Structure 1
Amino acid sequence: MKTILQTSRLTKSYGAKTVVSDLNMTVQQGDIYGFLGQNGAGKTTTLRMIMGLIRPSAGEIELFGTPLHGNKNKAMERIGAIIEYPGFYLNLNAADNLDIHRRMMGMGNRESIEEALEAVGLLEAKHQKVKQYSLGMKQRLGIARALLHHPELLILDEPTNGLDPGGMKEMRQLFLELARKRGITFLISSHLLSEIEQLANKIGILHRGCLLEEIDYETLQKKTRNYLDLNVTDEKKAAFILEQKLGTTDYVIAGSGGLRLYDHLDRPDLVSMLLAQNGVGVREMRLAGDSLEDYFLKLTGGESSA
C-alpha cells in the first residue's frame, strides 16, 4: 500500500508550551483516517503543520513519499483541505465563490466548478446566494472548493462541527462516496468518537499533543468486542476443547489460566459444562467487554473525547 502521509517525531512548541510532541503517524492510500482527540488536543496544529501553514519546531513530514520541506508547492497541488471553518463571500452564489477561488489559485477551467458542485450535491443550488445556505450546505461548499483541483488527499478539520444528526449523516455518506468513486484518501480530525467510528478504517488517538495509539478499525473492534472472560485450570486444553467441541477459534489465550471467548456469549452454561466434562475446571466466568468510548477513556486516563 502506498504511503500518502508520514510524520516522524513531529513537534510544535510555543515558548515553553509543547502543543504537539513527537508525533508519528502514517496515512496509506485509500485510508479514511480518523484523527481523534479532545478540543485542544493539538489536532488543528498538526493539520496546519502538514499543510505547511506553520513550521514544526522539530520532526519531519513526508507527503507522497517526498519531504514537505522544499517541495511544498508540488505537494499542495495534490491536496485539498478545510482547516477550521470555510469562509465565503456570502452575497455571491456558490458557483461564483468557486470561480473566484479557481482563478486565484490558477486552477483548471470552469467545468471543474460544476463537477465539484455535483460531487457534493449542490449543483441545483449553484445560483443560490451562500448567505441563504444552511450550515450543512456551507460545509458541502467548502468540500467542493477543496475538490476543484481533483486532489488525492483531503484534509478536513472537524467537518461535522455544529451540524445536526441529519447533517452529520449526510456528510459521512458524502465522504464514503468520494472515497469509493474517486479513490480519495481522507485525514479527518474530530472530537466526536461516534462520528469517527462510523467512518474511519484507521484511527489515531491524540491526547495532550501525544499520539497515544494508531490502530486500524478492525483491530479496535476486536479490542472492544464483548467476550466471555474465563479463568480456568488449563487454558491451552480449554482452547483445544472449544475448537473440537464447539467448532470455534474465536478466542484469545490470555495466559495464567485466562481465556477470552468471543463466541457463544449466549450459552455460558454450555461452555462451562463442556469444559468441566473434559477435565478443565472453570474458576470464574463473566461477560465482559468495552465500548469504543470506554477504550478511549482508558487511553486518556478517563478524559472524554466530547
Structure 2
Amino acid sequence: MNNVIATVDISKCFGKLTAVDQVSLHVGAGEIYGFLGLNGAGKTTMIRMLLGMIKPTAGRAYINGRGVGAGNYELWKNVGYMVETPNAYPELTVYENLEIARKLRNIKERSATKRIVEKLALTEHMHKRARDLSLGNKQRLGIAKALIHQPQILILDEPTNGLDPAGIVEVRNLLKELAANRGVTILVSSHLLGEISKTARKIGIIHKGKLLNEFDVDEFERLKERRVQVKVKNMGYAKAVLENNGYAMTQKEDFLICSDPKAVASPEKIAEILVTNGCPPRSLGTEQEDLESYFLRLIGEKGN
C-alpha cells in the first residue's frame, strides 16, 4: 500500500525538551490511522510538523510522496485539518465562518456551505455566533471547515473533544464513510482508546515523544495478551501450588493471573490442580486484552 502520509525519523526539540523523538509513521491510501498517546505525548507536535506549521529539528515529513516544507503550497489543496482547539471568528455565525472557509478554499459552488452544515448536523445552529456555541458544536464547526473542500487527506487532532456520546458516534460514522466510500486517507489523534479501536484500521502509539508500536487491527490479534484469571480463598497457598506445577502466577488485587499459553489453552488444568490440592477456585475464566489494556501494558513495558 502506498503511504499517503509518512515521516522518516522525524524529531522536534524545544530547547532541552524533545517533544518528538525519531518517529516514522506510515499511513496508507484510504486508511484511518489512529494516533494514540496520553496528553503531552507528542501527538499535536507531530501533526504540526505534518502540516508544515513548525519545522522539524531532524527528519522529514511527506504528503503524497512530496516533502513537507514552507514553500510547498500545492500540498495543502487536497488536505483538510483541525489542530487542537478549532478556530473560528467568534462574532460571526456558523454560516459566515463556513462561507469564509469556502471562499478561502476558492470553492465556486455556493451550495458547499449548506451541504457541510447538514453533514455535520449544524443546521439548527447555522445562524448562531461561533462564540455562543457549545464546545461540542465548536468542534463540529472545526471539522466542517476541514471538510468543506472535500479533501482526499484529512488530519484531525482530538476531533471528538467536547462531543456527547451521540456526537462521537456521528463523527465515527462520518470518518468511516469518508474512508470507505470516498477513499479519504485519515490520520486522527486521540487519547480515547475505546473510540479509536472502533474506527481505525491502523494504530500508532506514541509515548514521551517515541513511537512505541505501529500495527494494523488484524495484527493486534497477535499482539494482545490472553490470560487466565483465578479467584481463590487462600491466595498465597494457591499461588505456591500453581507455581510448583510450572505456572508463573502474578497476584493483582483479589485475583491470580497467568499468561502462560498452556494455561490459556487449558484453563481446566488450573482448576484441577487447585481442587486436588484442597483450594478449589471461587471463579476462573479467560480474558484477553482490549486496546486500552494493551496500551497501558506497552507504555509500562517500553515507555516507563
Q: TM-score range by the shorter chain?
A: 0.7 to 0.9
- Between the aligned partners of 2:142 and 2:181, the Cα distance in structure 1 is 19
| CA displacement at 1:111 relative to structure 2 | 2.3
| CA displacement at 1:299 relative to structure 2 | 1.4
Q: TM-score, normalised by structure 2?
A: 0.76
- Between the aligned partners of 1:288 and 1:144, the Cα distance in structure 2 is 40
Structure 1 contact 227–260 (Cα < 8 Å) conserved: no
Q: Secondary structure at the match of 2:149?
A: coil
What does residue range 107-186 of structure 1 map to in structure 2 within 5 Å? 107-186=107-186
| CA displacement at 1:227 relative to structure 2 | 6.2
- Between the aligned partners of 2:19 and 2:70, the Cα distance in structure 1 is 24
Does residue 1:28 correspond to 2:31, yes or no? no
Q: Secondary structure at the match of 2:218?
A: helix
- Between the aligned partners of 2:66 and 2:158, the Cα distance in structure 1 is 27
| CA displacement at 1:146 relative to structure 2 | 0.8
- Between the aligned partners of 1:199 and 1:189, the Cα distance in structure 2 is 12
| CA displacement at 1:157 relative to structure 2 | 0.6
Does residue 1:54 correspond to 2:54, yes or no? yes
Aligned to 1:299: 298
Structure 1, 194-203 or 69-78: larger mean CA deviation: 69-78
CA gap 1:50/1:260 in 2 versus in 1, 3 angstroms:
farther
Aligned to 1:240: none
| CA displacement at 1:81 relative to structure 2 | 0.4
Structure 2 contact 201–216 (Cα < 8 Å) conserved: yes
AA aligned to 2:7 is T
Q: Secondary structure at the match of 1:76?
A: helix
When the two structures are aligned, how many residues end up with a matched partner? 266
Q: Deviations over 1:59-91 (max 9, x none)?
A: 011111222237621111111000011122233
CA gap 1:212/1:167 in 2 versus in 1, 3 angstroms:
same
| CA displacement at 1:303 relative to structure 2 | 9.9
Structure 2 contact 139–163 (Cα < 8 Å) conserved: no
Structure 2 contact 7–23 (Cα < 8 Å) conserved: yes
Q: TM-score, normalised by structure 1?
A: 0.76
Structure 1 contact 52–72 (Cα < 8 Å) conserved: no
Aligned to 2:244: none
Aligned to 1:245: none
CA gap 1:286/1:90 in 2 versus in 1, 3 angstroms:
closer
| CA displacement at 1:108 relative to structure 2 | 3.4
| CA displacement at 1:156 relative to structure 2 | 0.6
What does residue range 274-293 of structure 1 map to in structure 2 within 5 Å? 287=286, 289-293=288-292
RMSD: 3.2
Query: 5+ unaligned residues in a row in structure 1: which ranges?
Result: 230-253, 274-284
CA gap 1:291/1:104 in 2 versus in 1, 3 angstroms:
closer
Query: 5+ unaligned residues in a row in structure 2: which ranges?
Result: 230-258, 273-283
| CA displacement at 1:28 relative to structure 2 | 0.5
- Between the aligned partners of 1:35 and 1:109, the Cα distance in structure 2 is 33
What does residue range 1-306 of structure 1 map to in structure 2 within 5 Å? 1-69=1-69, 72-224=72-224, 226=226, 259=261, 268-269=267-268, 287=286, 289-301=288-300
Q: Deviations over 1:32-71 (max 9, x none)?
A: 1110001111100000000000000110111112222376
Structure 2 contact 205–213 (Cα < 8 Å) conserved: yes
Q: Deviations over 1:172-215 (max 9, x none)?
A: 22222332333222111111211211211111000100001001
| CA displacement at 1:93 relative to structure 2 | 2.1
- Between the aligned partners of 1:75 and 1:134, the Cα distance in structure 2 is 33
